[in-house]
Structure 1
C-alpha cells in the first residue's frame, strides 16, 4: 500500500541498511562460532562411538552453518540496496513536498497539491512528481520486502527454528514468535506500537528487544525504556563483532566498552538510538519520570559524533543536574567534522598552480575550485542540517509522546550549539514542536527557504552568542547557507553571555572571543550556562549587555 506523506516522514530507511549490517554481523558471528567448534573437536584426542557421533554432528553443523552464512550475506546485500534505494526516493519526494510547501502551497497526506488560488501549473507539476515518487517508493518497498522474505524463508531451519524461538504472549492471550512480532511492529504506526507494547508483560517486551535490537532500539513509537534495553544489547553485539574480527584493541571497540561502562554513581548509560555502522546515537542523561518538570534536547556542533560524544555528555550531565530534568544528546545523524579552512592553504596553492596554466582567468577559477573543494563536507556545507532536521522533528514528537505518558505537562527545550543550531533551525522550518528553543553560538536559523513553521504557536526562542565569537563571521554573511543571524531574528530574545565563574583570585573574565564559542558548556557557573538553565526551567534569562563590540563582517584572512 502506497505510504502517505506523514508516514514517509516517519520512515527510517537507514534502519533497513542497519538490519542488513546486522545480518552481515550475524553471518560473521556464525562463521566465528562454527570455526571455534571445529577447532575444538579437531584438537581432541578422544576416540570411540561418542567421538564419531560428535564429529558427524560438527560436520553437519558446519554444512548448515555455511548455508546460513550464505543466506545472511544475501539478505545483507539486499537490505543495503533496499535501504539506499528507499532513502534516495524518500529524499526526492520529501524534498519536492518541502519545496512546494515553502512556496506557499498545501500538500495533502496523499500528495495532492493546491495553491492559495486553486490549481496552477506549479501545483500540477509538483503533484505529478510527488505522486510518481510515492508510486516508485511503493514498488521498491514491495519488491525488496518480498525478496527479503524469500531469502529469510530459504534459511535452513527458518520455518522451524532449532531449539524453538522466543515466544511472546500477545494482548489477546495468543502467542507468536518474537521475530514475527518485531516485523509486525515495523508495519504499525508509532502510536499503535506504543499502545500495543504497553499491554505486554515486561518479560515479553524484553524478548522482543532481544529478537532484533537494531530495529527495536531505533523505532519510533517504542517507549524509551525498551529502546534503551534494546540498544544496550545492540552495543554488546557490536562489541562482540569487533572482538571476533580481531579489533578488540581498536578505537571503536574501546568506544563501545566506554558506552557500556557504568557511570560514577553506578547507573548505566542509556541510549535511545544506536547505529554502530554509521556512528549515530542519542544518549539520555537522566530520566523521564512523574517528577519531571522539564526536558532538554542538545544538538552539538561540528566535530561531534559517536567517538566524541563524551564531551557533549559532560555538558548534558551538568545541565541535567542544574535543571532537574533529563537532557538528550542528539547525534542521530552526520555532522560535519571539519570547519572548512583545514588544508585551505595547500588547496589554494594547488588550485592556483593548475589555474595559472590557463592565464589570469584560469588562476581565479582554479582558486575558486580549490576553495569549493575545501568547503565541501565542512561546516560551510548545509546538507548535514538538511539531512538531520527531519529526524530531529520526529524525535521531538517521540519525546512529546514519552512525556505525555510519564510526565504530563513537562516543557521541552531544544538547544542547538554552533552547527547544531542550523540543524535545529532547519527542523523548526519543517515544523519542530518545542516549548522553548535556544540558538547557542548558532551558525544560523535554518537552511531551508521559508520561515519557521510553528507547531507550537507559543514557542519561546532565545539566542546566545558571545562578543567576538568567530561564528559571527558566518552569521553576518550575505547569503549565509545556514539562514539568518539568530541574534537579530524577529521574535528571538538574545541572552547575555556575561562572565565565567570566578578564578582563584576571585576575578571573572568575560565569555568572549574564540573561547567564547563553546567554553561556557564546560563552565556551569558561567553567566551563559546559567541563562540556558533559566530557559530550560522556565525562568526569564537576563538580556544581552554589550560590553565589547560584536565581530562585524571582517573575514579572518
Structure 2
C-alpha cells in the first residue's frame, strides 16, 4: 500500500507539472559544464615566470590568492595577456585582474553570441566562459569599496546569450542585479552570476537536482574565490531553479542572508535541514506559476517543501505585487524594497 501511495505521488507530480506548465517535452537535456576553465592545459605548461602556476582545478582559491599577492603588476599582466580565459575565471585571483582578462577574452572572441558583452568596454565582467551555451558574471557597483556584496543566482533558460536580454528584463540576472543595485546604491555591489549550466525549458532537468548539484559546487567555489580576494559575499539571492542551487550550496556558503524567490523548493524540508547559519528569506507572488508545481520530492523528482510555506520556517518577504514569476525585482515592488534592505544589512 505504501509503495502504491508513493507511485501515485510521483504520477501526480508528473501530471501537475505537465498540466500546469508547457510540459516536460519542452525541455532539452543539458550536460553540466564542470572542470577548470578553457585554456588550462596551456596554462599548466607555461613557465614564463620561471615558476609553477597555480592549478585551476586542484588549488584552492586561497592558494590562488596567495600566488597572485606574490607577483608584481608586470608579471600579473603577462599572465592576463597570455591566458585571459584562465585568469578571468580563476577564483581567488584579484577582481581587477579578472576584469582585464575578461575584457581581453571578449574582445578576442569571434562568436557573435557574445558581441553584446564586448560592445561596452566599461562593463565589469568577473567571469566569462565561452564553452557550451556560455557563462558570465557581471559586477554592478565597486567591489573595492563595497561594504556589502550580493550575488544573484538565476534559474532556467539563462546563459551568456540571455544574461542581459532586453525582453523580460527582471527575469535576467543582469536585470535583477542592476535593479537591486539601483535601489541599494553606494556602499554596496551586486554580482549577476550566470556561472552554471541551467535547465532549458521545463524538462526533466528542471524537475531534478543534477544541474543544481553541479551549479552549487561552482557557486561555492566562486564565492570562496571572492572571499579569498578580499571581497566576502554577504547576501545571495536565488531565483526559481537557482534556489535549488542555493539550497544544495547552503551548508558551504558563508553569506549572512540567503534569499529565495519564486522557488520550486530547496531540496530541504525546512530551514534547519539547510545546515546554514544564514538568515533564510522567501518571497512568492500569489500569481507566480511556480505555485502550480507540487512541492514534494520523490525518486529524484521535485525539490521538496515550499520555502514560502509556514512549515519551512523562512522569514517571509511581501511579494503580492511582484506580478508573476519574474517581477520580484521590478522597481516599486514591495519585494524589491525588502531585498534592498536585506542587501544593505538592515535588521528587519
Taking structure 1 as the reference length, the TM-score comes to 0.50
Distance 2:295 2:36 in 1: 38
1:258 to 116, 120, 125: 116
1:274 to 128, 136, 155: 128
Count, aligned residues: 301
The alpha carbon displacement at 1:385 in A equals 0.8
RMSD: 2.9
Q: Does 2:64 correspond to 1:214?
A: no
Written as runs of structure 1 = structure 2, the 5 A alignment for 1:132-281 is 177-178=48-49, 183-184=53-54, 186=56, 188-239=59-110, 242=111, 253=112, 255-262=113-120, 268-278=122-132, 279-281=134-136
Counterpart residue number, 1:464: 283
Written as runs of structure 1 = structure 2, the 5 A alignment for 1:54-133 is none
Pick the structure with more helix per residue.
1
Counterpart residue number, 2:204: 376
Q: Deviation per CA, 1:196-235, whole angstroms, max 9, x where unpaired? A: 3123222321111111112111122212111221122222
Does the aligned pair in 2 maintain the 1:181–1:208 contact within 8 Å?
no
Does the aligned pair in 2 maintain the 1:302–1:338 contact within 8 Å?
yes
1:296 to 150, 157, 162: 150
Q: Deviation per CA, 1:332-351, whole angstroms, max 9, x where unpaired? A: 11101102xxxxxxxxxxxx
Counterpart residue number, 2:295: 476
Q: Does 2:191 correspond to 1:337?
A: no
Q: Does 2:315 correspond to 1:516?
A: no
Instruction: Point out where structure 2 has 5 or more consecutive residues left out of the alignment.
Output: 1-32, 165-171
SS in 2 for 1:289: coil
Distance 1:181 1:286 in 2: 35
Q: Does 2:212 correspond to 1:385?
A: yes
Distance 2:69 2:195 in 1: 25
Structure 2 CA distance for partners of 1:337 and 1:295, relative to 1, 3 Å: same
* Larger RCO: 1 or 2 (CA < 8 Å, sep 6+): 2
Does the aligned pair in 2 maintain the 1:221–1:398 contact within 8 Å?
yes
Does the aligned pair in 1 maintain the 2:294–2:302 contact within 8 Å?
no
Distance 1:320 1:206 in 2: 30
The alpha carbon displacement at 1:314 in A equals 2.3
Distance 1:422 1:192 in 2: 29
Does the aligned pair in 2 maintain the 1:424–1:446 contact within 8 Å?
no
Counterpart residue number, 2:174: 313
Q: Does 2:36 correspond to 1:15?
A: yes
Q: Deviation per CA, 1:377-404, whole angstroms, max 9, x where unpaired? A: 3x223211121111111112122233xx
Does the aligned pair in 1 maintain the 2:136–2:193 contact within 8 Å?
yes
SS in 2 for 1:274: strand
Does the aligned pair in 1 maintain the 2:152–2:176 contact within 8 Å?
no
Does the aligned pair in 2 maintain the 1:274–1:281 contact within 8 Å?
yes
1:439 to 229, 239, 260: 260
Structure 2 CA distance for partners of 1:226 and 1:411, relative to 1, 3 Å: closer
Instruction: Point out where structure 1 has 5 or more consecutive residues left out of the alignment.
Output: 1-11, 24-78, 80-144, 153-175, 243-252, 340-374, 500-510, 542-557
Counterpart residue number, 2:16: none
1:493 to 302, 306, 315: 315
The alpha carbon displacement at 1:528 in A equals 1.5
SS in 2 for 1:225: helix
Written as runs of structure 1 = structure 2, the 5 A alignment for 1:374-413 is 375-377=203-205, 379-402=206-229, 405=230, 412-413=234-235
SS in 2 for 1:308: coil
The alpha carbon displacement at 1:533 in A equals 1.0
The alpha carbon displacement at 1:184 in A equals 4.4
